[in-house]
Amino acid sequence: MKLTAEIWVSAYLTRLRLIEIPAFIVQRGDSTAGAVLVKLNTLDGKACCYQRSFDLMTGDRKWMVLAEGDEAEVDLSVSKQCGFDPDLWVIEVEDKQGRHLLDEPGLE
């Protein structure tokens, strides 16, 4: 059974909060089926945005880089995605060390 977007986002924010990584919802999407983007802000003018995609060969879900570089450029890319998909969730994670936890088990 697949988790709803809202439950996944809530669990993700809880995991981040437990190890004191600040994160917040920038855009709330559809509670059941909205896609999720995670923007990692390293607080040095740089950022990276991740989107979940499917590996057609294995059927696995993986987090892939959608955009990275100057934060303003990443924000522009995120804005474009929001324009294409009004059901999209956008989560911003702020961590100087670049931690996002997306590579941990259970978050794929």
- Confidence at 108, pLDDT banded by 50, 70, 90: low
The pTM is what? 0.91
What is the mean pLDDT of the segment spanning 86-93? 96
E strands, the chain, are 23-27, 36-41, 46-54, 61-70, 89-94
The single-letter DSSP state of residue 87 is: T
pLDDT of residue 107: 67
Does the structure show a pLDDT above 70 at 1? no
pLDDT 10s digits, 50-62? 998 877 778 778 8
Q: What is the mean pLDDT of the chain?
A: 92
